[in-house]
């Protein structure tokens, strides 16, 4: 069933069209004037002013590896994140921990851990899937570089962004 919406009947003032134009001009001029006098403040002047302090806790920035309280890289090179990462941004080369090491029972560690930041879509799947709570999305967002190679975050860079994380995964500590 079709519905016919009746055209509103305009009175002579509305049909003259000019009062509406003047009213519109008054509105835009008010905005112009308020901007000119600095009364409206909406734009953040990005490189000088930053939003960093107001970033919410759930903000998803660059993914990074973290160390635990003992300084051990938490990642055990299980490669689950490499598997889950939708754009295949992560590349891990695992290696074995020598038997004389303090954490020998962990067995595996990432010899190389690269995240290609050109590919990463900041989805947070790696963080979600990691059984060791070793990878987290941090609040870094201004990731730039002049070459593609520069845009690949290697293990050192990832650890530098990540820092130390105190948390619940203590199963590799000696006392257990």
Partner 1 sequence: MDSFLIITSLLKIVAILFLILSMVSYAVYAERRVSAFIQDRLGPNRVGPAGLFQPIADMFKLLLKEDFTPRNVNTFYYWLAPCLAVMPAIITIAVVPFGSTLFGVPMVIADVNVGILFVFAIASLGVYGIVLAGWASNSKYPFLGGIRSSSQMISYELSLGLAVIPIFLLVGNLRLTSVVRYQIEHGWFIAPFIGDWTNPWKWLLTIPMIISFIVFAIAIFAETNRLPFDLPEAEQELAGGYNTEYSSMKFALFFLGEYAAMITGSAIMVTLFFGGWHFPGIPDGSRGWVFGLINIAVFFAKVAALIFVFMWVRWTLPRFRYDQLMRLGWLFFFEIALVNIFIVAAILSLAH
Q: Which residues bind ligand SF4 (CB under 6 A)?
A: 63, 75-81, 85-87, 89-90, 92, 115, 120-126, 129-130, 132, 134-135, 137
- Count of residues interacting with partner 1 (CB under 8 A): 15
Nearer to partner 1, 46 or 146 (CB): 46
Residue 144 CB, shortest distance to ligand SF4, in Å, is: 17
Helix (H, G, I), strand (E, B) or coil at 99: coil
- Pick one of 27, 55, 104, 164: the residue that binds partner 1 (CB under 8 A): 27
What is the number of alpha carbons within 13 Å of residue 50 lying toward its C-beta? 9
Based on the shown chain and the rule CB under 8 A, indicate whether residue 31 belongs to the binding site for partner 1.
Answer: yes
Single out the residue of 1, 3, 5, 36 in contact with partner 1 (rule: CB under 8 A).
36
Q: State the Cα–Cα distance between residues 92 and 82, nearest whole angstrom.
A: 7
**Partner whose footprint covers residue 158, from partner 1, ligand SF4, none (CB < 5 to 8 Å by kind):** none
Q: Count Cβ atoms within 10 A of the Cβ of residue 136 and give its class: 0-12 exposed, 13-18 middle, 19 or more buried.
A: buried
Name the binder of 77 from ligand SF4, partner 1, none, CB < 5-8 A by kind.
ligand SF4
| Cα(55)–Cα(83) distance, integer angstroms | 29
Is the dihedral angle over the CA atoms 145, 147, 152, 157 positive or is it negative? negative
Q: Which is nearer to partner 1, 3 or 36 (CB)?
A: 36
CA distance 4 to 51: 50
Q: What are the tokens at 85?
A: 């990462």
21 interface partner picked from ligand SF4, partner 1, none, CB below 5 to 8 A per type = partner 1
């Amino acid at each position: 069933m079709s519905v016919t919406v009746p055209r509103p009947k305009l009175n002579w003032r509305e049909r003259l069209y000019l009062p509406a134009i003047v009213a519109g001009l008054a509105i835009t001029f008010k905005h112009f004037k308020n901007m000119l006098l600095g009364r409206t403040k909406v734009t953040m002047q990005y490189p000088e002013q930053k939003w960093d302090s107001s970033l919410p806790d759930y903000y998803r920035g660059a993914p990074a590896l973290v160390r635990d309280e003992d300084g051990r890289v938490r990642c055990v090179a299980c490669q689950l994140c490499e598997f889950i990462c939708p754009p295949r941004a992560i590349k891990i080369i695992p290696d074995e921990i020598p038997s004389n090491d303090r954490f020998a029972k962990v067995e595996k560690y990432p010899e190389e851990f690269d995240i290609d930041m050109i590919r990463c879509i900041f989805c947070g799947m790696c963080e979600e899937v990691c059984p060791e709570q070793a990878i987290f999305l941090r609040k870094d967002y201004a990731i730039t570089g002049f070459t593609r190679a520069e845009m690949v975050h290697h293990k050192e860079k990832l650890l530098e962004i990540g820092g130390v994380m105190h948390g619940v995964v203590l199963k590799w500590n000696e006392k257990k």
